[in-house]
Amino acid sequence: AYAGTFGLGRPALPEEIAAWDVDVAPDGTGLPEGSGDVFTGEEVFAEYCAICHGDFAEGVDNWPKLAGGDGTLADKDPLKTVGSYWPYLSTVWDYVNRSMPFGNAQSLEPDDVYAIVAYILYSNDIVDDEFTLSHENFLDVDMPNAEGFIVDDRETAEAHFWTDEPCMSDCKETVEITMRAAVLDVTPEETGTDAE
Amino acid sequence: MSDSSRGKAPSRRQFLSGAAAVGVGAVGAGAARAASPDPLITQEQEWAQTTGEGVDATPYGLPIEFEKDVVRRNVEWLTADTISSINFTPIHALDGTITPQGCAFERHHSGAIELSKADYRLMINGLVDTPLVFTYEDLERFPRENRVYFCECAANTGMEWAGSQLNGAQFTHGMIHNMEYSGVPLRTLLEEAGLKPEGKWVYVEGADASSNGRSIPMEKALDDVLVAFKANGEALRKEHGYPVRLVVPGWEGNMWIKWLRRVEVTDMAIESREETSKYTDTLEDGTSRKWTWVMDAKSVVTSPSPQSPITHGPGPLVITGLAWSGRGAITGVDVSVDGGKNWMPARLAAPGTDKALTRFYLDHNWDGSEMLLQARAKDSTGYVQPSKDQLRDVRGENSIYHNNCIQTWWVKESGEAENVEVS
């Protein structure tokens, strides 16, 4: 019986839910059975991933770097990767499984995904080359930046934006231009604007 | 203070063509006497003699060719490719508050997909009494609401954290659009499936390859989130999620899932890629904020601006722009022409409404000297839009997202404008 009052829609079948509900939560909920080791992962990665992400997950051109950047988060130019930034391994498994390879998503078998994730961990020096990742030891992996996130604290850390009365006149003595976009000159040319 | 003399900058080119069109005699506030009769008046023009197009010429029209510069633009160097990328609304050229859908910005993670109403399915599953599948036709049978809201990308103005980069309001503030949505409250669909008390979150995802999955707390899901299928009176555009998208009022654009295909009720956040690797905001000490959902109060002067220079000389000048807040309604906008030394209250074209764009005007008598133009928004919670330095004092320069700082345009004596930072 429906809880609602309109009686619209129809019950979803178990096969339908299984096909679409593939997300994996931080506690491992949603992980299918399976496993993959670093060596297998290296092969699969080379075949499906390395063209954009590099042989060592270091990234090619502007494509995302998946490894490196350890300890750079407070630097002027932090390098945010799976190893240096991502808090949960579940996200790696989930995202690779659902949305990679770019342009041919949802083409990987669970064991391939386990192997790729194991290889990404190895590339980030989080596991050694003998490592095998499975649904059973998944939560044992320590992600370096697991404690690196806080919940939005703007209402306390930025409370003064609510409480400070805005100045209306004679707010400062002098005003100097300190930076100019035209000096950088990275704005695209306008095209198609010529009136003629 | 001479101008930058950068002949290939967009502001310069547009300035020159604009100035040529106006020609001489533009000095003075309309008081100059014509030296000779205007042939556009004294000679019969073709459009006053022959006929125009018939009503069968254009079943669905596009803007007139003279407006062909009012288009979305992308910035090639921002992303690795154009599939997972962004383009920008030409806010410098628009007025009012409603964004024309055809030039409203796009942000995709695996491209704009083509999904017909016939192929469309929406699943509600997880911690519900009865997991359900809806067709598009089912959705149109639920009681409907109409609401106007802005959708602002979390990364809007993100390239400007470390300094002035892109020269134009379209590029610095154009990851935004504002539409009137028609749709069904998400609450209605969740109630149809029957919520279990353990359900604290919904995980929402799209039908595209990126899926763009995000977690939304149940309180918001039951409040004002809409499952929308019409925008500005017509079906959603393909690039905006046709046939169905999520509308998440006041919250960062990433959560406005397009091509919405599944809503899962969960007891925890999924912590997907789009809320861990992306859409988290790194602070100066290297820790990062997560779940920074709300877009704070913000404003920008859209004209004059680098792409919309002053071409008419001194005298009456319309200074105009947009203000918005994800926390409520805009209650006021102050404008400064001297870089924030002094502020004048602008005129709101209409009273601010909840989580929607508000148009403001300052009817100014420009004396022809250079200006440092700024706007500062205030919302119904009392929040006042901060300067970039105030934001950087709290966050540093690496937050990427949620840059709602006060923008400065340096308007030169020539009427050209440039994106600058000031002390």
Q: Is the peptide bond before B304 cis (omega within 30 degrees of 0)?
A: yes
Residue B232 confidence (pLDDT) above 50: yes
List phi, psi (to 5°) of A29.
-55, 130
Tokens of B77: 């160097």
Q: What residue in A sits closest to B273 (Cα-Cα)?
A: A91
Helix axes A110-123, A89-99, angle to 10 degrees: 130
**Contact at CB, B131 and A12, closer than 8 angstroms:** yes
Q: What share of chain B is helix, strand, coil (3-state, %, to 5)?
A: 15, 30, 55
Closest CA to A194 of B8, B13, B62, B307: B13
Mean pLDDT of chain B: 93
Q: Is the dihedral of CA B126, B127, B132, B138 positive or negative?
A: negative
* Percentage above 70 pLDDT, chain B: 93
Q: Per-domain residue ranges for chain B?
A: 102-289, 298-420
Q: What residue in A sits closest to B78 (Cα-Cα)?
A: A62
pLDDT given at position B30 = 55
Tokens of A62: 């502007």
Confidence grade of residue B23 (pLDDT, cut at 50, 70, 90): very low
Q: Do domains B102-289 and B298-420 have the same CATH topology?
A: no
pLDDT given at position B31 = 66
Residue B25 confidence (pLDDT) above 50: no
d(CA B36, CA B96): 37
Distances (CA, A) of B226 to B133, B327, B402: 17, 17, 23
d(CA A100, CA B266): 24
Residue A62 carries which side chain, given as an amino acid letter? N
Q: What residue in A sits closest to B285 (Cα-Cα)?
A: A74
pLDDT given at position B409 = 98
pLDDT for B162-178, tens place per residue? 999 999 999 999 999 99
Q: Which residues of B are less than 8 Å from A164 in CB distance?
A: 384
pLDDT for B97-155, tens place per residue? 999 999 999 999 999 999 999 999 999 999 999 999 999 999 999 999 999 999 999 99
Identify the CATH assignment for B298-420 out of 2.60.40.650, 3.30.980.10, 3.10.20.30, 3.40.50.720: 2.60.40.650
Dump strand ranges (E) for B165-240: 176-185, 201-206, 214-217, 226-231, 234-235
Q: Compute how many other C-beta atoms are within 10 angstroms of the C-beta atom of residue B218.
A: 18
Asked if the C-beta of A177 comes within 8 angstroms of chain B's C-beta atoms, the answer is: yes
Give me the half-sphere count of Cα atoms (radius 13 Å) on the Cβ side of residue A70.
10
**Contact at CB, A12 and B13, closer than 8 angstroms:** no
> Residues 6-65, chain A: which have Cβ within 8 Å of B?
6, 8-12, 16-17, 20-21, 23-27, 61-64
pLDDT given at position A189 = 75
Q: What residue in A sits closest to B160 (Cα-Cα)?
A: A181
B31 or B108: whose pLDDT is higher?
B108
The strand pair at B288-290 and A149-151 is best described as: parallel
Surface-to-core class of residue B285, CB atoms within 10 Å of its CB (0-12 exposed, 13-18 middle, 19+ buried)? exposed
* Percentage above 90 pLDDT, chain B: 91
Chain B contact probe: residue of A5, A52, A99 with most B CBs at under 10 A: A99
pLDDT given at position A187 = 87
ipTM score assigned to the predicted complex = 0.94
- The minimum CA-CA distance between B386 and chain A, rounded to whole Å, is 7
pLDDT given at position B32 = 73
pLDDT for A48-102, tens place per residue? 999 999 999 999 999 999 999 999 999 999 999 999 999 999 999 999 999 999 9
pLDDT given at position B55 = 97
Give me the half-sphere count of Cα atoms (radius 13 Å) on the Cβ side of residue B319.
28
Residue A195 confidence (pLDDT) above 90: no
**Contact at CB, B288 and A148, closer than 8 angstroms:** yes
pLDDT given at position A183 = 83
**Contact at CB, B291 and A151, closer than 8 angstroms:** yes
Say which of A86, A102, A186 has its CB closest to residue B276. Answer: A86
pLDDT given at position B7 = 37
pLDDT for B272-318, tens place per residue? 999 999 999 999 999 999 999 999 999 999 999 999 999 999 999 99
Residue A193 confidence (pLDDT) above 80: no
Q: Which residues of B are less than 8 Å from A171 in CB distance?
A: 340-343
**Which residues on adjacent β-strands are paired with residue A179?**
B421
> Residues 74-133, chain A: which have Cβ within 8 Å of B?
74, 76, 78, 80, 82, 85-88, 90-91, 94-95, 98-99, 102-103, 105-106
Say which of B128, B273, B378 has its CB closest to residue A91. Answer: B273
Q: Are A126 and A185 in contact (CB under 8 A)?
A: no
Chain B contact probe: residue of A106, A155, A177, A196 with most B CBs at under 10 A: A177
Dump strand ranges (E) for A101-162: 132-134, 149-151
| Residue A61 backbone zone (phi > 0: left; psi -120 to 50: alpha; other: beta) | left
Question: What is the mean pLDDT of the segment spanning B201-219?
Answer: 98
Q: Are B364 and B324 in contact (CB under 8 A)?
A: no
The CATH architecture assigned to B102-289 reads Alpha-Beta Complex (3.90)
Residue B329 confidence (pLDDT) above 60: yes
pLDDT given at position B158 = 96
**Contact at CB, A175 and B372, closer than 8 angstroms:** yes
